[in-house]
Structure 1
Amino acid sequence: MSLGRKVDIAGIYQSAKLLTQLIEQEMNKGIPSEHIVLAGFSQGGVIALHAGLTFPHKLAGIIALSTYFPTLEQLKSELSVANNATPIFMAHGILDSVVVIEAGKAVFNALHALEYNIEWHDYLMEHSVCIEEIGHISTFINDIFS
Protein backbone atom coordinates (compact mmCIF):
# COMPACT_ATOMS: atom_id res chain seq x y z
CA MET A 1 0.00 0.00 0.00
CA SER A 2 1.39 3.38 -1.00
CA LEU A 3 1.72 6.22 1.49
CA GLY A 4 1.67 8.78 -1.29
CA ARG A 5 5.32 9.67 -0.73
CA LYS A 6 8.75 8.21 -1.39
CA VAL A 7 9.89 5.59 1.10
CA ASP A 8 13.62 5.32 1.85
CA ILE A 9 14.03 1.53 1.60
CA ALA A 10 17.84 1.72 1.88
CA GLY A 11 17.43 3.79 5.05
CA ILE A 12 15.09 1.20 6.52
CA TYR A 13 17.64 -1.56 5.91
CA GLN A 14 20.42 0.60 7.37
CA SER A 15 18.42 1.51 10.48
CA ALA A 16 17.36 -2.11 11.02
CA LYS A 17 21.00 -3.18 10.77
CA LEU A 18 21.96 -0.62 13.44
CA LEU A 19 19.15 -1.87 15.69
CA THR A 20 20.29 -5.46 15.16
CA GLN A 21 23.82 -4.46 16.16
CA LEU A 22 22.44 -2.83 19.32
CA ILE A 23 20.54 -6.01 20.22
CA GLU A 24 23.69 -8.06 19.67
CA GLN A 25 25.65 -5.68 21.94
CA GLU A 26 23.09 -6.23 24.68
CA MET A 27 23.27 -9.99 24.17
CA ASN A 28 27.07 -9.80 24.47
CA LYS A 29 26.55 -8.09 27.86
CA GLY A 30 24.52 -11.10 29.01
CA ILE A 31 20.97 -9.94 28.22
CA PRO A 32 19.09 -12.89 26.69
CA SER A 33 17.40 -11.99 23.41
CA GLU A 34 14.19 -13.49 24.85
CA HIS A 35 14.15 -10.57 27.30
CA ILE A 36 14.20 -7.89 24.59
CA VAL A 37 11.06 -6.20 23.25
CA LEU A 38 11.40 -4.01 20.18
CA ALA A 39 8.98 -1.10 19.99
CA GLY A 40 8.49 1.73 17.56
CA PHE A 41 6.04 4.42 16.56
CA SER A 42 5.48 5.33 12.90
CA GLN A 43 8.86 4.99 11.12
CA GLY A 44 10.21 3.41 14.32
CA GLY A 45 7.55 0.73 13.95
CA VAL A 46 8.84 -0.03 10.45
CA ILE A 47 12.33 -0.52 11.90
CA ALA A 48 11.07 -2.64 14.82
CA LEU A 49 9.16 -4.93 12.45
CA HIS A 50 11.98 -5.16 9.91
CA ALA A 51 14.68 -5.89 12.50
CA GLY A 52 12.51 -8.11 14.68
CA LEU A 53 11.18 -10.34 11.94
CA THR A 54 14.63 -10.93 10.45
CA PHE A 55 16.58 -11.26 13.71
CA PRO A 56 18.10 -14.77 14.00
CA HIS A 57 17.41 -15.17 17.74
CA LYS A 58 14.07 -15.31 19.58
CA LEU A 59 12.88 -11.94 20.87
CA ALA A 60 10.36 -11.35 23.66
CA GLY A 61 8.03 -9.26 21.52
CA ILE A 62 7.53 -6.54 18.93
CA ILE A 63 5.34 -3.45 19.34
CA ALA A 64 4.52 -1.51 16.17
CA LEU A 65 2.37 1.60 16.60
CA SER A 66 0.78 3.71 13.86
CA THR A 67 3.06 2.18 11.27
CA TYR A 68 3.34 0.48 7.91
CA PHE A 69 5.84 -2.06 6.52
CA PRO A 70 7.05 -1.31 2.99
CA THR A 71 9.79 -3.96 3.04
CA LEU A 72 7.63 -7.01 3.85
CA GLU A 73 7.55 -8.36 0.28
CA GLN A 74 11.34 -8.01 -0.10
CA LEU A 75 11.86 -9.61 3.33
CA LYS A 76 9.77 -12.73 2.84
CA SER A 77 12.87 -14.76 1.98
CA GLU A 78 14.76 -13.24 4.94
CA LEU A 79 12.15 -13.74 7.66
CA SER A 80 13.64 -15.57 10.63
CA VAL A 81 11.91 -18.70 11.91
CA ALA A 82 13.28 -17.74 15.34
CA ASN A 83 10.53 -15.11 15.65
CA ASN A 84 7.59 -16.89 14.01
CA ALA A 85 5.85 -17.20 17.39
CA THR A 86 7.10 -13.92 18.89
CA PRO A 87 4.11 -11.88 20.07
CA ILE A 88 3.49 -8.78 17.95
CA PHE A 89 1.29 -5.89 19.13
CA MET A 90 0.03 -3.54 16.43
CA ALA A 91 -2.09 -0.47 17.08
CA HIS A 92 -3.26 2.46 14.99
CA GLY A 93 -5.37 5.59 15.21
CA ILE A 94 -8.59 5.47 13.21
CA LEU A 95 -8.18 9.18 12.39
CA ASP A 96 -4.48 8.95 11.46
CA SER A 97 -3.79 11.09 8.38
CA VAL A 98 0.02 10.68 8.48
CA VAL A 99 0.02 6.88 8.14
CA VAL A 100 -3.52 5.89 7.20
CA ILE A 101 -5.02 3.04 9.18
CA GLU A 102 -5.40 0.97 6.00
CA ALA A 103 -1.59 0.85 5.70
CA GLY A 104 -1.29 -0.54 9.22
CA LYS A 105 -4.15 -2.96 8.77
CA ALA A 106 -2.56 -4.26 5.54
CA VAL A 107 0.58 -5.12 7.54
CA PHE A 108 -1.48 -6.87 10.18
CA ASN A 109 -3.39 -8.86 7.55
CA ALA A 110 -0.19 -9.88 5.74
CA LEU A 111 1.54 -11.02 8.93
CA HIS A 112 -1.61 -12.76 10.15
CA ALA A 113 -1.78 -14.63 6.83
CA LEU A 114 1.83 -15.72 7.42
CA GLU A 115 0.61 -17.09 10.79
CA TYR A 116 2.51 -14.70 13.02
CA ASN A 117 1.37 -14.35 16.64
CA ILE A 118 -0.07 -10.88 16.11
CA GLU A 119 -2.79 -8.77 17.65
CA TRP A 120 -4.47 -5.61 16.37
CA HIS A 121 -5.91 -2.64 18.25
CA ASP A 122 -7.34 0.59 16.88
CA TYR A 123 -8.26 3.73 18.74
CA LEU A 124 -10.23 6.91 18.13
CA MET A 125 -7.16 9.14 17.71
CA GLU A 126 -4.89 10.67 15.11
CA HIS A 127 -1.15 9.92 14.62
CA SER A 128 -0.47 9.67 18.35
CA VAL A 129 -0.66 7.44 21.41
CA CYS A 130 -3.56 7.40 23.87
CA ILE A 131 -4.02 6.27 27.48
CA GLU A 132 -6.13 3.26 26.48
CA GLU A 133 -3.38 2.15 24.10
CA ILE A 134 -0.74 2.47 26.83
CA GLY A 135 -2.88 0.25 29.04
CA HIS A 136 -3.08 -2.39 26.31
CA ILE A 137 0.69 -2.19 25.74
CA SER A 138 1.23 -2.66 29.48
CA THR A 139 -0.96 -5.76 29.46
CA PHE A 140 0.85 -7.08 26.37
CA ILE A 141 4.28 -6.68 28.01
CA ASN A 142 3.07 -8.12 31.33
CA ASP A 143 1.66 -11.16 29.51
CA ILE A 144 5.00 -11.73 27.77
CA PHE A 145 6.99 -11.72 31.00
CA SER A 146 4.52 -13.48 33.31
Structure 2
Amino acid sequence: MTNRALIAMLTAGALALSLSACTSGDDDPTPTVSSFSPTSTASPSAPDTGAETVAPTAPTDDPNDTVETPVPVPSDQADGWTDARAYDACRNEATRSQGADYTWNDRSSQTLVQGPGGRTIDVAGLYTGGDVGVANVTYRCTVGGTPDSPQLSGTVVR
Protein backbone atom coordinates (compact mmCIF):
# COMPACT_ATOMS: atom_id res chain seq x y z
CA MET A 1 0.00 0.00 0.00
CA THR A 2 1.35 3.40 -0.95
CA ASN A 3 1.56 6.34 1.37
CA ARG A 4 -1.16 8.12 -0.60
CA ALA A 5 -3.55 5.19 -0.22
CA LEU A 6 -2.76 4.89 3.49
CA ILE A 7 -3.45 8.59 4.06
CA ALA A 8 -6.73 8.38 2.12
CA MET A 9 -7.84 5.36 4.14
CA LEU A 10 -6.98 7.00 7.49
CA THR A 11 -8.73 10.23 6.47
CA ALA A 12 -11.86 8.34 5.40
CA GLY A 13 -11.87 6.39 8.67
CA ALA A 14 -11.50 9.56 10.73
CA LEU A 15 -14.29 11.22 8.77
CA ALA A 16 -16.58 8.24 9.23
CA LEU A 17 -15.85 8.17 12.96
CA SER A 18 -16.56 11.91 13.25
CA LEU A 19 -19.84 11.61 11.37
CA SER A 20 -20.99 8.64 13.41
CA ALA A 21 -20.37 10.59 16.61
CA CYS A 22 -22.55 13.43 15.32
CA THR A 23 -25.43 11.17 14.32
CA SER A 24 -25.20 8.50 17.00
CA GLY A 25 -28.68 9.32 18.31
CA ASP A 26 -27.56 10.51 21.76
CA ASP A 27 -30.23 12.31 23.76
CA ASP A 28 -27.61 14.85 24.87
CA PRO A 29 -27.31 17.28 21.94
CA THR A 30 -23.91 18.73 21.18
CA PRO A 31 -23.90 22.54 21.11
CA THR A 32 -22.98 24.08 17.80
CA VAL A 33 -21.44 27.39 16.92
CA SER A 34 -24.76 28.64 15.57
CA SER A 35 -26.41 28.17 18.98
CA PHE A 36 -24.13 30.76 20.61
CA SER A 37 -25.67 34.15 21.29
CA PRO A 38 -23.66 36.78 23.15
CA THR A 39 -25.27 38.43 26.17
CA SER A 40 -23.29 41.65 25.89
CA THR A 41 -20.90 43.35 23.58
CA ALA A 42 -17.69 45.07 24.46
CA SER A 43 -17.44 48.74 23.71
CA PRO A 44 -14.16 50.19 22.52
CA SER A 45 -12.27 52.23 25.08
CA ALA A 46 -11.07 55.74 24.46
CA PRO A 47 -7.54 55.90 23.11
CA ASP A 48 -4.80 56.83 25.56
CA THR A 49 -3.67 60.30 24.59
CA GLY A 50 -0.85 60.37 27.12
CA ALA A 51 -2.33 63.51 28.66
CA GLU A 52 -2.28 63.64 32.41
CA THR A 53 -5.23 64.90 34.35
CA VAL A 54 -4.96 67.59 36.99
CA ALA A 55 -7.16 67.59 40.08
CA PRO A 56 -9.23 70.74 40.60
CA THR A 57 -8.39 73.08 43.44
CA ALA A 58 -10.38 72.90 46.66
CA PRO A 59 -13.41 75.21 46.91
CA THR A 60 -13.16 78.32 49.07
CA ASP A 61 -15.36 79.17 52.03
CA ASP A 62 -16.96 82.08 50.18
CA PRO A 63 -19.75 80.80 47.89
CA ASN A 64 -19.35 83.89 45.68
CA ASP A 65 -15.76 83.00 44.81
CA THR A 66 -15.24 81.06 41.63
CA VAL A 67 -12.94 78.05 41.71
CA GLU A 68 -10.41 77.93 38.94
CA THR A 69 -9.10 74.58 37.84
CA PRO A 70 -5.33 74.61 37.40
CA VAL A 71 -4.08 73.85 33.93
CA PRO A 72 -0.71 72.41 32.86
CA VAL A 73 1.85 75.08 32.06
CA PRO A 74 3.09 74.90 28.45
CA SER A 75 6.86 74.55 28.42
CA ASP A 76 7.31 77.62 26.22
CA GLN A 77 5.64 79.77 28.91
CA ALA A 78 7.36 78.31 31.96
CA ASP A 79 10.51 80.48 32.02
CA GLY A 80 12.70 77.40 31.59
CA TRP A 81 10.88 75.28 34.18
CA THR A 82 10.02 71.71 33.25
CA ASP A 83 7.95 69.36 35.38
CA ALA A 84 11.07 67.45 36.45
CA ARG A 85 13.14 70.58 37.23
CA ALA A 86 10.30 72.15 39.21
CA TYR A 87 9.72 68.93 41.17
CA ASP A 88 13.41 68.55 42.05
CA ALA A 89 13.73 72.19 43.11
CA CYS A 90 10.56 71.97 45.22
CA ARG A 91 11.64 68.67 46.78
CA ASN A 92 14.86 70.40 47.88
CA GLU A 93 12.82 73.34 49.22
CA ALA A 94 10.49 70.97 51.09
CA THR A 95 13.47 69.16 52.63
CA ARG A 96 15.00 72.45 53.73
CA SER A 97 11.80 73.99 55.10
CA GLN A 98 10.05 70.97 56.66
CA GLY A 99 12.94 69.26 58.41
CA ALA A 100 14.03 65.69 59.08
CA ASP A 101 10.58 64.28 59.96
CA TYR A 102 9.69 64.40 56.25
CA THR A 103 11.07 62.36 53.37
CA TRP A 104 10.17 63.27 49.80
CA ASN A 105 9.61 60.82 46.94
CA ASP A 106 11.13 60.93 43.48
CA ARG A 107 8.84 62.45 40.87
CA SER A 108 6.38 60.07 39.22
CA SER A 109 3.71 61.94 37.25
CA GLN A 110 3.41 65.34 38.93
CA THR A 111 3.07 68.29 36.57
CA LEU A 112 3.62 71.99 36.87
CA VAL A 113 0.22 73.71 36.76
CA GLN A 114 -0.99 77.29 36.50
CA GLY A 115 -3.59 78.15 39.10
CA PRO A 116 -4.97 81.29 40.70
CA GLY A 117 -1.95 81.50 43.02
CA GLY A 118 0.67 81.03 40.30
CA ARG A 119 2.57 78.02 39.00
CA THR A 120 2.53 75.11 41.44
CA ILE A 121 3.63 71.51 41.66
CA ASP A 122 2.83 68.96 44.37
CA VAL A 123 5.68 67.01 45.97
CA ALA A 124 4.69 63.66 47.50
CA GLY A 125 6.30 62.32 50.63
CA LEU A 126 6.04 60.70 54.06
CA TYR A 127 5.87 62.20 57.52
CA THR A 128 7.37 60.01 60.25
CA GLY A 129 7.19 61.89 63.49
CA GLY A 130 5.11 62.99 66.43
CA ASP A 131 2.03 61.03 67.45
CA VAL A 132 1.04 60.30 63.85
CA GLY A 133 3.53 57.54 63.15
CA VAL A 134 3.75 57.42 59.35
CA ALA A 135 1.51 59.51 57.08
CA ASN A 136 1.42 60.31 53.38
CA VAL A 137 1.87 64.04 52.84
CA THR A 138 1.87 66.50 49.96
CA TYR A 139 3.90 69.68 49.83
CA ARG A 140 2.39 72.23 47.43
CA CYS A 141 5.16 74.37 46.05
CA THR A 142 4.76 77.67 44.23
CA VAL A 143 7.39 78.04 41.52
CA GLY A 144 8.69 81.42 40.43
CA GLY A 145 11.76 82.88 38.83
CA THR A 146 13.86 80.66 36.61
CA PRO A 147 15.70 77.39 37.29
CA ASP A 148 18.95 79.40 37.58
CA SER A 149 17.36 81.88 39.99
CA PRO A 150 14.39 80.09 41.60
CA GLN A 151 11.82 81.73 43.84
CA LEU A 152 10.11 78.90 45.70
CA SER A 153 7.64 78.74 48.55
CA GLY A 154 5.26 76.11 49.76
CA THR A 155 3.35 74.39 52.51
CA VAL A 156 2.21 70.91 53.49
CA VAL A 157 -1.38 70.64 52.24
CA ARG A 158 -2.18 67.13 53.52
> Which band: TM-score by shorter chain?
under 0.3
**TM superposition score normalised by structure 2:** 0.21
Greater RCO, 1 or 2 (C-alpha within 8 Å, sep 6+): 1
Q: Which has the higher strand share?
A: 2
TM-score (norm. length: structure 1)? 0.22
Greater helix content = 1
**Rg larger for:** 2
